[in-house]
Amino acid sequence: MVQAGTAQAGAYERVYSGWKADPETFWMNAAEGIDWITPPSRALDDTQAPIYEWFADGTLNGCWNCVDRHVEAGRGDHIAIIHDSPVTRATKGITYRELQKRVASLAGALRAKGIEKGDRVIIYMPMIPEALEAMLACARLGAIHSVVFGGFAANELAVRIDDCTPKAIIAASCGIEPNRIVHYKPLLDKAVELATHQPDFCVIFQREQEVAKLIEGRDVAWHSFQYGIEPAECVPVEGNHPAYILYTSGTTGAPKGVVRHTAGHLVALNWTMPNIYGCGPGDVFWAASDVGWVVGHSYICYAPLVAGATTMVYEGKPVGTPDAGAFWRVIQNHRVKVLFTAPTALRAIKREDPEGELIDDYNLRSLKTLFLAGERADPDTIHWAERHLKVPVIDNWWQTETGWAIAANPTGIELLPVKVGSPTVPMPGYDVQVLDEGGHPVAPGTLGAITIRLPLPPGTLPTLWNAEDRFRKSYLEHFPGYYETGDAGYIDEDGYVYIMARTDDVINVAGHRLSTGAMEEVLASHPDVAECAVIGVADDLKGQSPLGFLCLNKGSGRTHDDVVAECVRLMREKIGPVADFKRACVVERLPKTRSGKILRATMVKIADGQAFKVPATIDDPVILDEIREALQGLGLARV
């Protein structure tokens, strides 16, 4: 149980304790921050526990809360969206009034083609403002959108088409990478061909870099199908009406459709903007992610807009568009106040510019805070960013399923002392508990399964799309009365949460349960290591044995054997002989998902010579061949 420590005394502790003492009042007060058509009579509906709903009997509209209400409040000329695309060398701003017109027009055209409240619409687009407009147009009509990462493989898109059975698909003709065009339309056509369910129509946004061939009778062009259309008004929906479905990978290979209810989603995100991120109207908030991921849903689209802030839509990379100074240019040119990105992006920048020399070329006076999420933030990366950016660098921890931070440093309430390696403390709504395998609470500082006592707060998943049994089995069965996060870690004496690894990544070496995250911290502290990963490989004697993968800084100049030997010694010094860390290999890059998560489970299967399926989310499948070659050099990966 999280206890108040000296580090927590003060404003945060009062807010957290206030929520814990009276959750109903806390969330009803938070609900006053958004516009209702019919206010809810209560916050929590627990009549179907452990399936919970929030603000279920209220009515509202998501698009109204993100767009129209700001125009009505006299803020129509404020910038809602800034699009910055180094790959097309284009930048533009869209005001709230312009956004309202564009979204109402698109929604009207969708309505004219038969899209109504409750219909599903798949969105398959790159990082352009039209992706957000499509999401908001669905919300305007009460349609349920499901964004699929642009450029996702046709088979994976087909699986999602069959699961959510969309009436329409909204796509772009192409995406643009630094060195290539990604042909979206052929992927879409192949996916529709593979799918059992067939959409009524597809809307294609034609980009000048590639104009796609439209299929007569099925495809309509973005602009022409809106011509002469009457704009749509906002359709009232119930508080528990699904806003969207977002698919996350499942352990069985079948994707899990995370559902997000409209009211809880808006209430929670609206609360987070001033309280966690210290952002409000007029501030520029940049989540350097993609609309295909949960960060894109929550903090590129909905949260900044519901708060009346300006959101960045960036079509580029942290490096290579054109160099490792890309992020700093965006911050300078658009006066970004808060940057929210993944540690992997910072590590890519740090690897190309270890001394942070490019940072000095830009004026970063507007930047007040850097937030990290998506994977564990290693201390070395945090220290590098603190040293060069001279702003608080704050980790926060959450999941696709939760939609917003489980643990964070609530800078808008009180900037708590940063403990490097910890995403700080639980946010109101989250009663975080660390349990052993039998479901019993463990002592502070003891590694265990991170769980959250039910009910989960507003904005988190109430269920999975058409799969309630799977929802119960995946998240609720193992620890009755708790949500199982799938992460392992501990809570210290001050109530700070530490996420050390996915539960599957805790390895058992001769009976000792060891965190791969702790080992990666040690490796990352080596001055020549830019990025690393540790996995557990099968060992006849000890059950599992740790193995490290090291990516070195550009221009390191050290021999691989020397770096590996020093890392082995470092592990022995910092963790001890119990870790049995004796092997590591230097690789050029690590296999990752497009959102930056390292594919450790896939690496384990390669090392152990097991059959595996190439993950649909992988950024570049060729990397797996490089990993196999490196492992074979160590005598592993033998089938």
CA-wise closest residue to 536 among 609, 603, 590, 631: 603
Does residue 205 register a pLDDT over 60?
A: yes
Helix and strand totals (H; E) in the chain? 19, 31
CA-wise closest residue to 87 among 189, 9, 15, 176: 176
Of 166-175, 357-366, 374-383, 579-588, the poorest mean pLDDT is in 374-383
pLDDT confidence of residue 1: 31
* Tokens matching residue 230: 């009457």
pLDDT confidence of residue 213: 96
pLDDT confidence of residue 504: 63
Cα separation of 529 and 586, whole Å?
9
Q: Percentage of the chain with pLDDT > 70?
A: 96
What pairs with residue 408 in β-bridges? 425
Q: Which ranges of 303-405 does DSSP label H, i.e. alpha helix?
A: 303-306, 326-334, 343-352, 379-389
Record the pTM: 0.86
In this prediction, residues 146-159 reach a mean pLDDT of: 88
Max Cα separation, the chain? 73
Does residue 375 register a pLDDT over 50?
A: yes
In this prediction, residue 9 has a pLDDT band, given cuts at 50, 70 and 90, of low
Beta carbons within 8 Å of 72's beta carbon, 6+ residues apart:
none
In this prediction, residue 513 has a pLDDT band, given cuts at 50, 70 and 90, of low
Domains of the chain, earliest start first: 510-632 (3.30.300.30)
Q: How many CB atoms lie within 10 A of CB 355?
A: 12
Cα separation of 392 and 387, whole Å?
10
Helices 379-389 and 343-352 cross at an angle (nearest 10°) of: 70
Q: What is the pLDDT of residues 134-151, one digit of tens each?
A: 999 999 999 999 999 887
Does residue 87 register a pLDDT over 90?
A: yes
Report yes or no: 66 and 136 within 8 Å, Cβ to Cβ.
yes
Q: What is the pLDDT of residues 275-301, one digit of tens each?
A: 999 999 999 999 999 998 999 999 999
